[in-house]
Structure 1
């Protein structure tokens, strides 16, 4: 299909503004197809008002109806065929297998939430029946469950143009919760966003969802983005990106007359602790981690940006092997010119600091579009004393921190900010000896993994993708897996409510046969 570049104001296409933008090929600097019109203030207001009106109808759709809607979105995305893949490759510079895999993940998580809704117990229905004869005071009939929070604004990520974008995890979980969504398209993949938005609107129409259930707008974050976050009908924000961008949204949301939650997944350097037993296998460990550092050109939020070790007879061999492996890796094209330039700037600034050793970098010089794989090394004391070394470098880069003792390692871990992940490499006897340090890492991350690499996030019920600040603005929630739905709901208690007015999940007869807590016991039985 030919790209029109218009904004999706609910089910209506609109392009009333005089500002527009194009996307340029990172190699040739030639424009890709499409002129994308920035939404006007009036268009954004109309999208938000539509969403607010749609909420009162959409939230009352049954879980089965919402599940069918999510499955239809998944089907419509697949119906886009190769056109979606080709456009996303052009805008992201990511290879076809990665984009095809990401499409599968996007469709898969939509269906995962659909299955969650079909089962239905996720609403945490809890019932305490009335006790009119209780002494000294009677008890009212009390019934509680999770209910949708309202209109949700989603800001697309740059590094996952499908899985964390227009129909990505934030949108899927918000729609599953019963919340209308307005998406702020990322300027780097506007064409991809338009194609996905077209699929979602087609699903809205096929499933008879209210106009305004979904909108998507183009425009700058300082204008369109701020307007969305500050609008009183918006009740929550989902964001994946830089710490600077996430904190700006967080601050805006707290300046409102009615503050709202911003669920922002932000920066993380993902420390990896190499115990002495892991360093004995220096060659394999170096090869494994060189691959993880550079996979996807290092543009994963779980990139292993920090390697911690206690210096011993094997640590020098590990550093040497890691350097050799990094040197053999060919530089690859990054997501955009701005991201590549930011990587080069951060890399150069960090390597210019005092007391840092460049361990190794790719022997092949990178072009202006590529990120050059790099590893460096500092001592524990240098790392602790220089905040620059604690900053995320978004790209194929990692820093080794050498500690002289376990005591120094303790100090390094204590100096770390919140992280998405932490990794422990080594054998179990070593892990027991370093139990204190491992538990200290746990306090600073959302996911702690053993004998693996942090890159790669399974989309499932058990996944936790979030962590203490600044990895995320709220460590209690995840942006990946079915737990993501809990960001966009709130508990509501119904006291002495007539059975006919109760949500299906709380009715006496339990028509959905979901698991509930009734008078302190888990049961699927009716009352």
Structure 2
């Protein structure tokens, strides 16, 4: 595929109207060809008007047709796997093999959503038949299903340039729900974004769908983002990134004449709690495993286990030594962007200024934007008194917290803000302590991991990627897992309708053979 750098608005390739940019290879400092187009307010309006034109037809596609389209997107992504991985590697400094795997997982996610669509359970179809002889008053026929919200704006993320970007889970779940997508590509990986965008664009055309089902735009500064959130045709926004960026979009969306939901995934330190018997039995294993996972993607993962808490006692020294050994043998590796690197070094200084003591360091940086692996330690008293120690450090650092006892462990658990995940390592003899800890964690996270690590995460029907603020802006919804589709749906009741005018999933004969709640009973009859 020849990269043109154009915006992809519907079926069209649109040249620059507001300047251009080149991608940066952070490993070499070199800029990459070609130049990529920036658009402005006019391009935002064009893309969203097309999306709005597409909505009525796309949101009413049959389940089989929509599922086939999602499978086709997966086919297109797999077809460009090698090219996509090679370009993404150039734009990130990370190995191409990593992105081959990320492409395959992303394609698999589209196929999983195709299955969700075929099954139709996401519609949550319910039928309460008429009861004309009911006393003291008859009941009219009521039938309910979920319908798509409307055009959705998705902001691509920087840390996973495929699975959280143009073809990521937000796009897959929005398209599965029946929502056209306008994707704001992240400027850190424009070539990778174009390859993914063209794959989706081709699938839209081959499936015979309205061209407005998908558009990809790019812009400089805040103007393009503000124009997207402000546009009156947008019905929802998703964002993965910093708390500051996410909350700016969220607040702006609430100030519209017609406020819309903004589903953000923002910040998390994913605390790991090691209970005493587990510490004594497996301290070294846990310390080494956590340090290894904290360095995944050069620590640039929202699920990085960043903070480990344990009561000082048998096994703590072994845990510390094993974590230190893993950190010290780690090579410094290129971070995704100069801005992320600078933020990492600044946040490390913040930790040190708050009293964290460096007890281990990986190999020294060689290139300008290399991230050095670091290991710090603080006491429980320091963690409790210094809020900055509980803030995310996006990069390959780990903080060990040495606690004085189980009472302080519970106290420490209570001071964390909302998290995407929390982990507990425990032996059977620790279960009484775990029973007391778990309610504290349930209030603060959307996923609790037991005797494993917070990363990696599977995208399944039972998995979520959410948590109370500031992990996300709405902990009722997830951005990972099959239930992510629920963000883009709303309920509609059809009351006293003739059967031929009802949506197919609600008709009396149940022609799609869906599971439905009929008069309170789950059935396919």
Q: TM-score range by the shorter chain?
A: over 0.9
Partner residue in 2 for 1:399: 399
Deviation at 1:319, TM superposition (A): 1.7
Classify 1:366/1:271 alpha carbon distance in 2 versus 1 (closer, same or farther; 3 Å). farther
1:31 is paired with a residue whose SS is strand
Deviation at 1:141, TM superposition (A): 0.5
- Indicate yes or no: 2:90 matched with 1:90: yes
Q: Runs of at least 4 residues of structure 1 off by over 4 A?
A: none
1:445 is paired with a residue whose SS is coil
Alignment of 1:439-450 (within 5 A): 439-450=439-450
Partner residue in 2 for 1:276: 276
2:412 is paired with a residue whose SS is helix
Deviation at 1:408, TM superposition (A): 1.3
Alignment of 1:244-323 (within 5 A): 244-280=244-280, 281-323=282-324
Residues 124-154 of structure 1: per-residue CA shift (max 9 Å, x gap): 1001001111111111110111100000000
Deviation at 1:122, TM superposition (A): 2.1
CA contact (8 A) 2:27 2:92 kept: no
Alignment of 1:27-176 (within 5 A): 27-176=27-176
Alpha-carbon distance between aligned partners in 2 of 1:87 and 1:27, rounded to the nearest angstrom: 13
Deviation at 1:487, TM superposition (A): 0.3
Alpha-carbon distance between aligned partners in 1 of 2:28 and 2:359, rounded to the nearest angstrom: 33
Residues 55-89 of structure 1: per-residue CA shift (max 9 Å, x gap): 01111111111111111111112222422111011
Partner residue in 1 for 2:359: 359
Alpha-carbon distance between aligned partners in 1 of 2:62 and 2:504, rounded to the nearest angstrom: 8
2:143 is paired with a residue whose SS is strand
Deviation at 1:271, TM superposition (A): 0.4
Deviation at 1:206, TM superposition (A): 0.6
Deviation at 1:475, TM superposition (A): 0.7
CA contact (8 A) 1:239 1:263 kept: yes
CA contact (8 A) 1:69 1:203 kept: yes
Deviation at 1:521, TM superposition (A): 0.8
Classify 1:79/1:365 alpha carbon distance in 2 versus 1 (closer, same or farther; 3 Å). closer
Alpha-carbon distance between aligned partners in 1 of 2:175 and 2:363, rounded to the nearest angstrom: 47
Partner residue in 2 for 1:201: 201
Classify 1:216/1:114 alpha carbon distance in 2 versus 1 (closer, same or farther; 3 Å). same
- Indicate yes or no: 2:183 matched with 1:183: yes
Residues 177-209 of structure 1: per-residue CA shift (max 9 Å, x gap): 000000000000111111111111111111111
- Indicate yes or no: 2:357 matched with 1:386: no
1:23 is paired with a residue whose SS is strand
Alpha-carbon distance between aligned partners in 2 of 1:363 and 1:82, rounded to the nearest angstrom: 31
- Indicate yes or no: 2:458 matched with 1:458: yes
For structure 2, the 5+ residue unaligned runs are none
CA contact (8 A) 2:89 2:95 kept: yes
Classify 1:366/1:447 alpha carbon distance in 2 versus 1 (closer, same or farther; 3 Å). farther
Partner residue in 2 for 1:340: 341
Deviation at 1:356, TM superposition (A): 2.2
Partner residue in 1 for 2:499: 499
Deviation at 1:483, TM superposition (A): 0.3
2:102 is paired with a residue whose SS is helix
Alpha-carbon distance between aligned partners in 2 of 1:78 and 1:314, rounded to the nearest angstrom: 46
For structure 1, the 5+ residue unaligned runs are none
CA contact (8 A) 1:422 1:449 kept: yes
CA contact (8 A) 1:366 1:372 kept: no
Partner residue in 2 for 1:373: 373
